[in-house]
Amino acid sequence: MSTKRYFGTDGIRGRVGRWPITAEFMLRLGRAVGTVLGARGGEVNVIIGKDTRISGYMFESALEAGLVAAGANVGLLGPMPTPAVAYFTRSLRASAGIVISASHNSHHDNGIKFFSGAGEKLDDALEAAIEAELEAPFTTVESASIGKVVRVRDAVVRYAEFCKSTVPPTFNLRGLSLVLDCAHGATYQVAPTVFAELGARVESIGAQPDGLNINHEVGSTHPQALMRAVAERKADLGIAFDGDGDRVLMVDRHGALVDGDQLLYLLALDWHAEGRLQGPVVGTLMSNFGLERAIGELGVPFLRANVGDRYVLQLLKQHHGVLGGETSGHILTLDRATSGDAIVAALQVLEVLVRRGHSLDAAVAGMRKVAQHTENVRVAGNAAAVVSAAEVQSALARVQARLDGHGRVVLRPSGTEPVVRVTIEADDAALVRELAGDLAHAVESAASSPHGER
């Protein structure tokens, strides 16, 4: 990935109006994608979906023009969750799917994510081929070969039916009162439809997108609005999505937040008992130590991937697992969907609660999260060299000895900024802060020495 100019770990993302998040680049990107896919032979059909940010109109039009100029046909979904694009790419037997979204970011940002015909992230070789084609002159196929564009009809209804198909036909939510927070994003139409059709009494917040308010003080990155709404309306629980619909957090009947780690525990506990759980449960480097401990007590392996749902997916597939995710609410249930799907994940949780007759707070009570504290130490030089410095490694060894297997330390250079992240977890909150401070001080000292300048 480090050799790629545009593609990051999850597509291409940046500030709207700054290269490459411009209409000109998206036009060229559309042609490059259409050309690379066309080189494989046969008809090329590409599905495009987007979230609700205002720049989506511009980028949708630019991508569409570039694709048809290369001879590709285009199906437009309009505003739909990211996992819905993965679903339609498979369902409609498309060559690829494109999502125009910057996920949980504000409207100032946007990005492009791709799915293969199998509804999975593109492989590195295909991304590299697209980048190479971007350097070629812009050309248009002969007039008779220009692609056609259609709008996918009844997309909301069709995707809602898919979501409902992931729970048993007898499952219903009658008698439950839910508050949904759609982050003024891509789930604003389909999520209320799904839960209402299953019988729940649904109230929605964050469901009035205007192109500029996506993720603004609502959604899974700002759950306080949902926490207040659940308490005020005396609902049974609340469900918060992010702007593109691949993250989900919940709020219990008391207005307390239930994060991705707790939702993973709830599903793992039930699926293990029911025989549905296959392989290990996969979290990330930042998953709470309490989750690892609780999963271990079930006798189930727990593995940690690098931060990012892409890496969780890779580790699950490598070890033939079906359940994984992140604290932030990316929950992957691979026996139901090929990517993290917030609506599908929420339905899996609700199915457990209804079948067992449990409230959300009771269902997660068996997992005790440990105290966690993170220090971000800015470095002017090589962050990896600072981490490997002898004095830092010595301090790390002392911290690990103090924890003595009853906690966890994560020391890593950030992949996005000149920062070394120091995270400590243990039951004793005071000890956690003390050890995090000690290790951060060692990192600061090393950063100011020649180690930080190499």
CA distance 49 to 337: 17
Length of the chain counted residue by residue: 454
Task: Please list the active-site residues.
Answer: 103
Give the residue from 243, 207, 247 showing the smallest Cα distance to 106.
243
Give the residue from 381, 370, 380 showing the smallest Cα distance to 423.
370
Give the residue from 163, 166, 145 showing the smallest Cα distance to 155.
163
Residue 454 amino acid letter? R
**Is omega for the bond preceding 81 within 30 degrees of 0, making it cis?**
no
* Count of C-beta atoms within a 10 Å radius of residue 43: 11
Contact assessment for residue 50 and residue 60, using Cβ atoms and an 8 Å cutoff: yes
Task: Return contacts of 380-383, CB within 8 angstroms, 24+ apart.
Answer: 380/418, 380/447, 380/452, 380/453, 381/447, 381/451, 381/452, 381/453, 381/454, 382/452, 382/453, 382/454, 383/413, 383/414, 383/418, 383/419, 383/420
Residue 49 amino acid letter? G
End-to-end CA distance of the chain: 23
Residue 432 amino acid letter? V
Helix (H) / strand (E) element for 377: namely: strand 371-378
Strand runs labelled E in 268-370: 281-284, 302-305, 323-325, 331-333
Phi, psi of 246 (to 5 degrees): -115, 0
